[in-house]
Amino acid sequence: MTCAPYSPHDYKSDLKPVWCPGCGDFAVLNSVYRALAELHFEPHETVIVSGIGCSSRLPGYVETYGFNSLHGRALPIATGVKLAAPNLNVIAVGGDGDGIAIGGNHFMHAARRNADIAYLMMDNEIYGLTKGQAGPTTPRGDKTKSTTYGNPDTGVDPCALAISLGASWVGRGFAGDVKGTTELMKLAIRHHGFAFLNIISPCVTWRGDDQIKLLRPRVRAVADDHVRSDREAAMRLTNEEEEKITVGVLYEDARPTLLDEMIEIRERASGEKMPPTRSEILAAFG
Ligand code: SF4
């Protein structure tokens, strides 16, 4: 990490976002620009990997390395990038359909392995790109293009899922609060291990153009006395009562990352200490 004076504008690529006007993903993209600038990351120090979906277009709009990959496959690719180039800041992005439906299996393994990745999920409770079908986080009873008489399935809570899968950092943000989401992104990116940030990012086309207005009064900040290392308390927080949406850091734990574990195994097997810096480690894994 260096201290180059980059501004959020410096991270804007030449591509113009093709999202619908008012889409929550614009606000999330703004938070990405701000977070990278405030962290003083040089553009070449970061890789953003996505799957497929409206929000998975995001890497193309950011002036860093980027990889718009296959549906649901952002996390295994991001894990590979981090292991091959440990010095890079690796960020995975995508929607709830991409990450919890087809990508659910990869979500599970990236979280339990504690791969050193910040995973930003833009949760719009719908399949937007394919024209409004119910997705994994669509609330039960909601009418969508594929559930004309109401969704029969109970929606998944991505934060509860991440905590139970073993993610070592879990937070929730709201696209209607760019400053707050930026702060959470910075914490997620800085975290040593698998950090999952669920960002409520409304789809104005298929969920209604009044979503930000309707959601804002339901959003509340996590209480100051919440103990982040208390897993049960985090689960209780994410099990919202009275239709509330708690934003902030819900859970945080310090444990070895996938790379830390691999280094430890390698040292035990060879009886030799691994080199002290990450670039030297990379060379040793050769
Ligand atoms: Fe955003 Fe929904 Fe439009 Fe996709 S369909 S760009 S999620 S508003």
Is the Cβ atom of 65 under 6 angstroms away from ligand 1?
A: no
Q: Is residue 129 part of a domain?
A: yes
Q: How large is the angle between the packed helices 24-38 and 178-190, nearest 10 degrees?
A: 50
Query: Averaged over 184-205, what is the pLDDT?
Result: 97
Q: Which segment of 21-25, 114-118, 259-263 scores lowest on mean pLDDT?
A: 259-263
Is the Cβ atom of 124 under 6 angstroms away from ligand 1?
A: yes
Q: Is residue 8 part of a domain?
A: no
Q: Based on the fold, state whether residues 22 and 150 are members of the same structural domain.
A: yes
Q: Based on the fold, state whether residues 191 and 268 are members of the same structural domain.
A: no
Q: Based on the fold, state whether residues 55 and 185 are members of the same structural domain.
A: yes
Q: Based on the fold, state whether residues 103 and 159 are members of the same structural domain.
A: yes
Is the Cβ atom of 54 under 6 angstroms away from ligand 1?
A: yes
Q: Based on the fold, state whether residues 23 and 133 are members of the same structural domain.
A: yes
> What pLDDT sits at residue 5?
83
First-last CA distance in the chain: 23
> What pLDDT sits at residue 146?
97
Q: For residue 120, how far is its CA from the centre of ligand 1 (angstroms)?
A: 17
Half-sphere exposure of 191 (CA within 13 A, CB side): 31
Give the tens place of pLDDT for each residue, 213-251: 999 999 999 999 999 999 999 999 998 766 889 999 999
Q: Based on the fold, state whether residues 137 and 244 are members of the same structural domain.
A: yes
> What pLDDT sits at residue 272?
85
> What pLDDT sits at residue 147?
97
Q: Which of 16, 18, 20 maximizes ligand 1 atoms within 8 Å of its Cβ, making it the mutation to test the pocket? A: 20
> What pLDDT sits at residue 276?
62
Q: In total, how many domains does the chain have?
A: 2
> What pLDDT sits at residue 108?
97
Q: Is residue 7 part of a domain?
A: no
Task: Return d(Cα 231, Cα 279) in angstroms, integer.
Answer: 34
Closest ligand 1 atom number to CA of residue 122: 7
Would you place residue 273 in the very low, low, confident or very high pLDDT band (cuts 50, 70, 90)? confident
Q: Is residue 245 part of a domain?
A: yes
Q: Which domain holds residue 224?
A: 14-252
Q: For residue 77, how far is its CA from the centre of ligand 1 (angstroms)?
A: 25
Q: Based on the fold, state whether residues 143 and 88 are members of the same structural domain.
A: yes
Q: Based on the fold, state whether residues 273 and 209 are members of the same structural domain.
A: no
Q: Is residue 5 part of a domain?
A: no
Closest residue by CA, ligand 1 atom 5:
128
3-state secondary structure 227-278: CCCCHHHHHHHHCCCCCCEEEEEEEECCCCCHHHHHHHHHHHHHCCCCCCCH
Please determine, for residue 2, whether its predicted confidence score (pLDDT) is greater than 60.
Answer: no
Mean pLDDT for all residues in the chain: 93
> What pLDDT sits at residue 236?
92
CATH number at residue 133: 3.40.50.970
> What pLDDT sits at residue 281?
64
CA distances from residue 129 to 43, 112, 134, 146, 206 in whole angstroms, order as listed? 28, 29, 12, 14, 10
Q: For residue 151, how far is its CA from the centre of ligand 1 (angstroms)?
A: 20
Is the Cβ atom of 25 under 6 angstroms away from ligand 1?
A: yes
Q: Based on the fold, state whether residues 184 and 274 are members of the same structural domain.
A: no
Give the tens place of pLDDT for each residue, 179-189: 999 999 999 99
Q: Based on the fold, state whether residues 50 and 122 are members of the same structural domain.
A: yes
> What pLDDT sits at residue 266?
86
Q: Is residue 131 part of a domain?
A: yes
Query: Averaged over 143-168, what is the pLDDT?
Result: 97
Query: Averaged over 55-82, what is the pLDDT?
Result: 97
Q: For residue 260, how far is its CA from the centre of ligand 1 (angstroms)?
A: 39
Q: Based on the fold, state whether residues 221 and 283 are members of the same structural domain.
A: no
pTM assigned to the model: 0.94
Closest ligand 1 atom number to CA of residue 128: 5
Is the Cβ atom of 96 under 6 angstroms away from ligand 1?
A: no
Is the Cβ atom of 127 under 6 angstroms away from ligand 1?
A: no
Q: Is residue 4 part of a domain?
A: no
Give the tens place of pLDDT for each residue, 124-149: 999 999 999 999 999 999 999 999 99
Q: For residue 41, how far is its CA from the centre of ligand 1 (angstroms)?
A: 29
Q: Based on the fold, state whether residues 218 and 278 are members of the same structural domain.
A: no
> What pLDDT sits at residue 88?
95
Q: For residue 207, how far is its CA from the centre of ligand 1 (angstroms)?
A: 9
Contact 239, 246 (CB under 8 A): no
Query: Averaged over 75-85, what is the pLDDT?
Result: 96
- Contacts of residue 102, defined as CB under 8 A and 6 or more positions apart, other chains included, come to 51, 71, 72
Contact 189, 163 (CB under 8 A): no
Is the Cβ atom of 20 under 6 angstroms away from ligand 1?
A: yes
Q: Is residue 2 part of a domain?
A: no
